[in-house]
Amino acid sequence: MRQLRGTPLKRFIRNLPPPPFPTELVVVCQSVAYPVNVGSIFRIADALDVVEVVLTGITPTPPHPTISKVSREKDVRVPWRYVERPEAALEELRDRGFWIAALEITEESQPYYQVEYPPRVALVLGNEDHGVTRSCLMLCDAAVFVPMYGKGRSLNVHVALAVVGYHLLHRRREDQARVG
């Protein structure tokens, strides 16, 4: 077995089938403070083919050397914008028809895999130390979390995005098998 590189790797990726349940996904970074995390979010956003990344609050924005390096310059490819107040961004996304879910542990949070997601989803990622603010949580339709079975209480923000994001793209495989 050999790794694919160069042209064979490009062909392999180009020939992948589309996700079974494509989702119009927006990622909202509510004061994600560390440029390394923002760069990783851009790289994952590219892999998930998100509609856009919305950077808010104290989230660092491109151009930024660390964001560019960690994202492997996906910050240039992935559509993004900055909105100072995260609440304003969430209200605007709701007006555009997005269902809004915070990636946060709250009293009403559900495991990410038990939620019925509509076709248009905005995932809100909170600050690394303080999470999603109360004012943003009040604008969300739901809160989802990634269960932790070890001693740690949470995953890094970009890792949690990858887990939930890929679930959104592939979640319907089981549902389609039951229906068909």
**Rounded to two decimals, what is the model's pTM?**
0.91
Taking only the tens place, the pLDDT of each residue in 42-90 is 999 999 999 999 999 999 999 999 999 999 999 999 999 999 999 999 9
- The confidence score (pLDDT) of residue 20 equals 77
Comparison of pLDDT for 106 and 22, the residue scoring more? 106
The Cα 10–Cα 7 span in angstroms is: 5
Q: Is the per-residue pLDDT at 137 higher than 90?
A: yes
The tokens of 160 are what? 């949690």
Q: Is the per-residue pLDDT at 179 higher than 50?
A: no
Bridge partners, residue 109, by sequence: none
CA distances (Å), origin 146, targets 61, 115, 124: 26, 12, 14
Return the residue matching tokens 């932790």.
148
* Residues 50/23, Cβ–Cβ less than 8 Å: no
pLDDT band of 172, cuts 50, 70, 90:
low
Domains of the chain: 20-172 (3.40.1280.10)
- The confidence score (pLDDT) of residue 21 equals 73
The Cα 163–Cα 168 span in angstroms is: 9
* Residues 25/166, Cβ–Cβ less than 8 Å: no
